[in-house]
Structure 1
Amino acid sequence: MLFLLLILLGAGGVLSTGIGLYVICYHLLTADIPAGISHPLKLRIFHCVLLLFMTWGKVLEALKICSLPRFVRFMHDLMPVKQDPDVVVTDLRFGSNPVKLYQPKTSSLTPRTGIIFYHGGGMVLGSLKSYHRICCHLCKVSGSVVLSVGYRQLPEHRFPVPEIDSFASTVHFLRSLKDYGVDPARVVLCGDSLGGTVAARICQKLEERQDLPKIRAQILIYAKMQGLYFQLPSYEQNKNVPMLTRRFATYCFSQYMDINPAWEHVIFKGGHLPTESWEKYRKWLDPENIPQRFKQRGYRPVSRMPLNESAYLEVGLRLERATFPLMVEDEVVARVPEACLVTCEYDFLRDDLLLYKKRLEDLGVPVTWHHMEDGFHGVLNTLTLRFFQFPCSARIMNVIVHFIKGL
C-alpha cells in the first residue's frame, strides 16, 4: 500500500512538473509582450498562472473530475479577501441571484450615487468574490453605494443567461433604491469585459421601461460589443497579447455562444456570413470606422473568404440572431444615457468599443473616452494587488471615479 502511494505521489510530481514546464514553454513561444506595456515581467507571471489554471482545468475535465471553468474560478477565488473598515459589505439575494452590496460606513445627509457593477471574465473567470476588491475600492473612493451583481456561469449556463440574471437583479435594485439610500436620479451601470457588454445591453433595454428610474450613465471598460466581425485591427495586432489572447477569447466566446470552436478559422476569415448580411452590418462594423492611428501597428486589411454554407448554418445564423450592443438599431442606441468608455491599446477587444464610441457620437449620445496606451485586457483586476498592481489599473479607477463624481 505504501509502495502504491509512493508511485502515485511520484506520478503526480512528474505530471505537475511536466505541466509547469509546458506552460512556461508555451508562454515563451506564443505570448507577445509589447514594448509599450509597463512591467512586462509581471504580465508574464500573470499569464503563466492563467495558463497553468487552464491546463490543469483541461486535465481535470478530461478525467471527468471537474469542468475547466469551475476549476479556474475556484483557483481564482482562492485569493484572500480583505475587508475595508470604511465599507459595509452585505451579501444578499435578489430572487435566486446572489449580489453583494457595498455601502460607505460614514452617514450621508443626502442620497448617494448608486453604481450597479457587472463583473467580467467571459463566463470562465470572474465572480462576486474575485471582484470584491474592485467594488470595495470603488465604493470607498467614490462615496457611492455599489451593487455587485452575480449571474449563473459556464459550464451549465450560456448566452443569454448573464444578461437575463443581471437584468432581473437590476430591476429589483431600481425598485428598492430608497431602501439603500440611493438617489434615483444618479444610478450608473458599470462593467468590464463581458460585464461591460451586459451593462450596455441593460441600458438599452431599460430605455423601454417607463416604470423604473432612468439610468444616469453607463461605464464600459474594454467590453465586447459585437459578435459578427472578427477582422478588426485589434483582433490581429493583439491576438497573442495576454491576458486575452485569440485562443482564450475563442474558447470563451465559443463556450458562451455554444458554437463549435472548430469553426475558428472560418469565423476569423469572415466565411460564416453571406455578403448580404455583411452589407447589412457594414455601416457599423467596417474597419474604416476605426481611426487611422489604431491601424499603424501591423494591420493589413484582409479580404473575406467565400461563404462556407455549413459555417453559416451552424454559426452565422446563431450569431446574427444574438443581440449585442453594437448591433441594435439606431432608435434604441440614440436613447441610451451618456457613456464613459475605457479602452486599452493592447486589448484584443479594443476596436469593439471604438466602433461603439463612434456609433454613440454619431447619434448624439455624450461620450467621455479614456484610452490607456499601456493597458491590456483585464488590467483593472490587478488593482490593490500591491507588488503585482499595474499603474494602468489605478488610472482606470481614477477616471471612473472622476466621471462618477462629475455627474
Structure 2
Amino acid sequence: MKLRWIGSVLLSAVAYYVYLPLPSGVSEPWKLMLLDALFRSCMHVGDVAHALGVCHRVSLINQVVSWVEVIGPRSCPAVDVSDILLGGVPTRVFRPIGGQKLKRGVVYFHGGGWALASGRMRSYDLLSRKMAEDLDAVIMSVDYRLAPEVVFPGQYEDAMAASRAFLSAGVRERYGLDPQRLCVSGDSAGGNLAAAVAQELALDSSLEVRFKAQALVYPVLQALDFHTASYQQNHDVPILYRPVMARFWLQYLGADPALEPLLLANNHSSLDQAGLPAAHRSKLDWTALLPAGRRKHYRPVVRATGSPGVVDAVPALTDVRAAPLLAERGVLARTPRRAYVMTCEFDVLRDDGLMYARRLRDAGVEVTGDHYEDGFHGCMVFAYPPVSSSVGRRSMDNYIRWLDQNL
C-alpha cells in the first residue's frame, strides 16, 4: 500500500510537471507537452549548473545533445554523407548517388537560438538526407560557431564564409552543382542567418553565381518588439517561450543578460530612444504589415519613455546583419527572386516571418507563404520518431515540395 501511494504521488508530480494548458488548435498537444517537458528539464538543469558555476547553461545542454543526438556521417546506397570544412566552417555534406550530372544545391543553417544544436543532430541529419534523396540535390548543413563562446557577428561571419564557399567555382565543380539552381535556407536562428546572407550577397557585384532562392522556416528576424501579436498570443506556448527568445537574443548579441526585463517590456524600443528613427519602426509595424486576421484583438505596446541608451549599448539591435527585417526595401528587391517563408500559428516568431514575407513581396520578390494553423515553433524537425508529429511531417513534405518546384 505504501509503495502504491508513493507511486501515485510520483505519477501525479510527473503529470503536473508535464501538463500544460495548450491552445485547442495545436497539433497533437500531448506530444508537444512531453517534448516541452524534456526541453524544460534540460533548461532547468542547465540553470542549476550555471548558478553553481559549473558551466554556462547552454554549454551543458549542448553537451547532452552531443551525447544523445549528434551522429556520425553515415552514408547509404542513395546518399553519400561526409564531413568537410566549407569556407573553414565545419559542414556535413549530403550528396545523392547517381541521378542528374549537375545537381541542385542547398546550403542549410540549423536553428537553436545561435547557441544550441548542430547540423549533425539526428533530426537535421534525417532532414538533409531526405532533401538530398527527394530533390536529387547536394545539401550542405553548416555547423556555425555557437554562443556564448562566440557572439555576433561570429555566427553571421561563419554563415557568410560557408555561403561564399558554396557559391565558389571550386566547390561547384567538386560537387557538380548547377550554378543556376542554388538555394540558401535555414530554420529559426538559421533562418535569420539565411536571410542575412541572402541580403549581403545580393549587394556583392563581384559574385559570378548567385542564389536562385531563399527558403526560411519560422525565422527570427527582429529584437525590437517583443509584443507583436504573435508574441502576445503565444508568450507561454512551448517550445519557444517569450523570455527564452529574449535570452537567446542577448546571448547572441553578447549583451548583459540583466537587460532581459527591459526587452520583454519593450523599454529598449521606447519612443525616447534616439537610436531608433521612425524609418526603423515602420519596418516592423505589425499593425500595418499584418492582415487583421493575424492582428486579432491585440494592441501594440509602445513605451513613450523607457530605458535610454539601450540601443547605444547594444547597437546590434538595429544591425540588419542581426535583424534582417530592418533591411531597406532596395536591398530586399535585390535578394533571390524566389522566396519561401514558413510560419506557424502557435509560435512567438510567427509575425517576424509574416512581416518579412510582406516586405519581400512589396519589394517585388515572388514569395510563397506557407502557414500552419496547427503548427508550433520547431515542428518541421520533429517529423521522425520518437518525437514525430503530423504537422512536422506535413511541413517537411511541403518545404521539400516547394524546393522541388522552385529550384
**What's the TM-score once normalised by structure 2's chain length?**
0.88
Name the residue aligned to 2:61: 72
Does residue 149 (structure 1) correspond to residue 142 (structure 2)? The answer is: yes
Larger mean Cα displacement after TM superposition, 256-265 or 156-165? 256-265
Deviation at 1:237, TM superposition (A): 0.5
Aligned residue number for residue 11 of structure 1: none
Contact 2:243 2:260 survives alignment (8 Å)? no
Counterpart residue type for residue 205 of structure 1? E
Superposition pairs of residues 190-209 of structure 1, within 5 angstroms: 190-209=185-204
Q: Which residue pairs with 2:166 in the alignment?
A: 173
Q: Describe the shift of the 1:291–1:278 C-alpha distance in structure 2 as closer, same or farther (beyond 3 A).
A: farther
Structure 1: gaps (5+ residues): 1-19
Judged with a 3 Å threshold, the aligned counterparts in structure 2 of structure 1 residues 331 and 35 are, in CA distance, closer, same or farther, namely same
Shift of 1:305: 4.3
Distance 1:21 1:193 in 2: 34
**Mean CA deviation greater in 286-295 or 360-369:** 286-295
Partner of 1:253: 249
Superposed CA RMSD in Å reads 2.3
Question: Could you tell me how far 1:110 is from its partner in structure 2?
Answer: 3.2
Q: Which residue of 1 aligns with 2:267?
A: 271
The one-character-per-residue Cα deviations of 1:10-40 (angstroms, maximum 9, x if unpaired) are xxxxxxxxxx999875665xx5521111211
Distance 1:144 1:400 in 2: 14
Separation in structure 1 between the aligned mates of residue 42 and residue 13 of structure 2, nearest angstrom: 12
How far apart, in 1, do the equivalents of 2:223 and 2:370 lie? 23
Deviations 1:263-322 (A, max 9, x none): 3333233322353625222321112211111122x623334241322534434x441245
Deviation at 1:64, TM superposition (A): 3.1
Please point out which of 14, 18, 27 is paired with 1:38.
27
In structure 1, the partner of 2:239 is 243
SS in 2 for 1:388: coil
Shift of 1:126: 1.5
1:128 aligns with 2:128: no
2:64 partner letter: M
Compared CA separation, residues 48 and 134, structure 1 to 2 (3 A): same
Residue identity opposite 1:380 in structure 2: M
CA contact (8 A) 1:228 1:319 kept: yes
- 2:95 and 2:137 in contact (8 A); partners too: yes
Cα distance in 2 for partners of 1:304, 1:151 equals: 36
Aligned length: 383
1:113 aligns with 2:112: no
Q: Could you say what secondary structure the match of 1:230 adopts?
A: coil
Kindly indicate whether the alpha-carbon contact (under 8 Å) linking 1:120 and 1:191 is maintained by their aligned counterparts in 2: yes
**CA shift in 2, pair 1:84/1:293, >3 Å:** farther
Q: Residue 125 of structure 1 aligns to which amino acid in structure 2?
A: L
Secondary structure at the residue paired with 2:365? coil
Partner of 1:223: 219
Distance 2:107 2:165 in 1: 11
Match status 1:102 vs 2:94: yes
Deviation at 1:100, TM superposition (A): 0.6
Residues 173 and 394 from structure 1, CA distance in 2 versus in 1: closer, same or farther, beyond 3 angstroms?
same
* SS, match of residue 283 in structure 2: helix
| Post-superposition offset of 1:95 | 4.8
Describe the superposition over 1:93-114 as per-residue Cα deviations: whole angstroms up to 9, x where unpaired. 1353110110112x13430110
| Structure 1 CA distance for aligned equivalents of residues 311 and 328 of structure 2 | 22
Cα offset, 1:180, TM superposition: 0.2
Identity among equivalent positions (%) equals 32
Q: Shift of the alpha carbon at 1:254?
A: 1.4
- Post-superposition CA distance 1:148-197 (Å, at most 9, x none): 11111122101121110111111112112121011000001110001111
Deviation at 1:227, TM superposition (A): 2.0
Structure 2, unmatched stretches of 5+, are 1-10
Q: Name the structure 1 match of 2:376.
A: 376
Asked if structure 1 preserves the Cα contact closer than 8 Å seen for 2:151 and 2:253, the reply is yes
